[in-house]
Structure 1
Amino acid sequence: MPKGKGPQGKRITLKVAKNSMRVLFNGRRRIELSKMGIAIFPKCLLELADVEEIDLSRNMLKKIPNTIEKFQNLMWLDLHSNQIDELPAAIGTLRNLTYLNLCNNKLTTKGLPEELTLLRNLRTLNLGLNCLESIPTTLGSLKELIELGLFDNSLTIIPKSVKKLPKIERMNVKRNPLPEFAKEEEPIDTIKRIESLYLVEKKDLCNSCLQTCQGERDELHKLEDMTPGPSEKPDFTSLTTPNSTAIDNQEEWRVK
């Protein structure tokens, strides 16, 4: 391949980056560069390093540069559905980060730097659909973590330090080669409420996400088929209710 002709994908200019910026309802600014065919982290984003949120999902990124440390205001970073195989140590400098989505990449256990555990304000971490054979016990130091996605990897054990995270509400470890006894000990989805709901169209989902959704749908249909229906319709005709009696004498049920 001729020099300088590597797979660089679409080139993002500062003008394009500025035009992609959105102000959210909470006042945060988000750079939305999803599905842009980007193969190299755009250097022009350094001119906008004071933003709070960046969406670079569904691209062709393989590396995240150490210059990510320039984004000290960053609170939300979505890198899902790329080709990232390792994270830079500089990721640990993003101390304000509360949301990090790395789902559907090529991350290995060696590709997770120890500095990842410095993200002490992290509440959501998605490492699903990667190539992880184990996860560091030091992830147990992420005391603010509420949601942790570990599904569709090659994990055979979940460290106790991770299981016992004090604020964890949801930990997804589905489709890992965990021993049966380990599966029984894993925290299940215990989330009590939905604080936010993000809806996307089918055409916006990657192939891996579509397969995962279809698998969940098939499981739901199996449960529905196994649920016994009532043998006969209940008969409540012998019961008297205010509404039924009021049909005959509405004056007696009128609020005076």
Structure 2
Amino acid sequence: MAKGKGKGPEGKKITLKTAKNSIKISFDGSRRLDLSKMGITTFPKCILKLADVDELDLSRNMLKKIPNSIEKFQNLRWLDLHSNQLEELPKTLGTLQNLFYLNICNNKLTSKNLPEELNLLKNLRILNLGLNCLDSIPTSLGALKELKELGLFDNLLTAIPNSVKRLPKLKKLNAERNPFPELMKKEEYVDSIKRIESLYLVQEKDLCCSCLKTCQKERDKLNKFKNKMPCPSKKLSFPSLLTPNSTAMDNQEQWRLKDQHI
């Protein structure tokens, strides 16, 4: 007898009892509903009875859709949906006004199915959209004035809107491994030159042998990068000076890493 076509994995059924037992209390008293790594394929409706939780973790499951009923979680401050199979997000996500953390990394989201209503999350501090299929970012995300960290890595982006790059509180923007054109790479080079120009510079005689050697290596790297890029209209000149000021920290590597995180 021929077997019928498979319907795909049904996933684990989450009961209200299971969900209640999965609630954890954090050190600050927040109630976190942790349903990560549970093999869930369908959003469990039973958890709507626990909509007063502060944090919801549905990461590392097999969810393809989040229902509009997510709007019932009005107390949510932290929502983790990373590493699922989400192809779209509900517009009602924009009603979660208390949300400050949203992770939807490693899904199957396209720019077309990224809801415009994300710009309503006025209190959002951290947004991770990495490892999806986004070929553009809506300029409306520039309305997220409280955003401090934004992950856009491993997508199909060729540009980032100025409204997003100029967010007033943005400290970390990870857009690595996107097919940006050469023009953007040039702009990144010019930005790095501007950062160096604003540093406090020192003369060779003020550096110890170890710091001097490290500085020279960093300068050589910069020169190699500079030779690969078109020269900016304004040439910078630092006669008798080396970058950067190694006296600011004992270890030059510390200085370099610190600059990368600013």
Q: Same fold (TM over 0.5)?
A: yes
Q: Which consecutive segments of 4 or more residues in structure 1 shift more than 4 A?
A: none
Residue in 2 that maps onto 1:140 = 142
Instruction: Quote the Cα distance in structure 2 between the aligned partners of 1:2 and 1:125.
Output: 42
Deviations 1:85-120 (A, max 9, x none): 110111000000000000000000011111111001
- 2:58 is matched by which residue type in structure 1? L
Matched positions, count: 190
Instruction: Quote the Cα distance in structure 1 between the aligned partners of 2:187 and 2:59.
Output: 33
Residue in 1 that maps onto 2:184 = 182
Residue in 1 that maps onto 2:55 = 53
1:112 lines up with 2:139 in the alignment:
no
Residue in 2 that maps onto 1:129 = 131
Q: Percent identity?
A: 70
- 1:20 is matched by which residue type in structure 2? S
Structure 1: 5+ residue stretches without partners: 189-225, 228-256
Report the 3-state secondary structure (helix = DSSP H, G, I; strand = E; otherwise coil) of the residue aligned with 2:180: coil
Deviation, structure 1 residue 183: 3.4
1:37 lines up with 2:77 in the alignment:
no
1:40-119 to structure 2, matched below 5 A, reads 40-119=42-121
- 1:89 is matched by which residue type in structure 2? K
Deviations 1:182-228 (A, max 9, x none): 1354689xxxxxxxxxxxxxxxxxxxxxxxxxxxxxxxxxxxxx88x
User: Pick from 160, 163, 167: which aligns with 2:165?
Assistant: 163
Structure 2: 5+ residue stretches without partners: 193-216, 219-262
Residue in 1 that maps onto 2:21 = 19
Instruction: Quote the Cα distance in structure 2 between the aligned partners of 1:102 and 1:122.
Output: 13
Report the 3-state secondary structure (helix = DSSP H, G, I; strand = E; otherwise coil) of the residue aligned with 2:33: strand
Instruction: Quote the Cα distance in structure 2 between the aligned partners of 1:60 and 1:137.
Output: 30
Instruction: Quote the Cα distance in structure 2 between the aligned partners of 1:136 and 1:30.
Output: 31
Deviations 1:126-163 (A, max 9, x none): 00000000010000000000000000000000000000
Residue in 2 that maps onto 1:8 = 10
Instruction: Quote the Cα distance in structure 1 between the aligned partners of 2:85 and 2:18.
Output: 23
Cα 1:42/1:184, change in 2 over 3 Å: farther
Cα 1:157/1:171, change in 2 over 3 Å: same
Instruction: Quote the Cα distance in structure 1 between the aligned partners of 2:131 and 2:163.
Output: 22
Deviation, structure 1 residue 181: 2.5
- 1:102 is matched by which residue type in structure 2? I
Instruction: Quote the Cα distance in structure 1 between the aligned partners of 2:13 and 2:45.
Output: 10
Deviation, structure 1 residue 179: 1.5
Report the 3-state secondary structure (helix = DSSP H, G, I; strand = E; otherwise coil) of the residue aligned with 2:13: coil
RMSD, aligned CA: 2.1
Report the 3-state secondary structure (helix = DSSP H, G, I; strand = E; otherwise coil) of the residue aligned with 1:182: helix
- 2:115 is matched by which residue type in structure 1? P
Instruction: Quote the Cα distance in structure 2 between the aligned partners of 1:93 and 1:102.
Output: 17
Instruction: Quote the Cα distance in structure 1 between the aligned partners of 2:150 and 2:23.
Output: 28
- 1:174 is matched by which residue type in structure 2? E
Residue in 2 that maps onto 1:208 = none
Deviation, structure 1 residue 26: 1.1
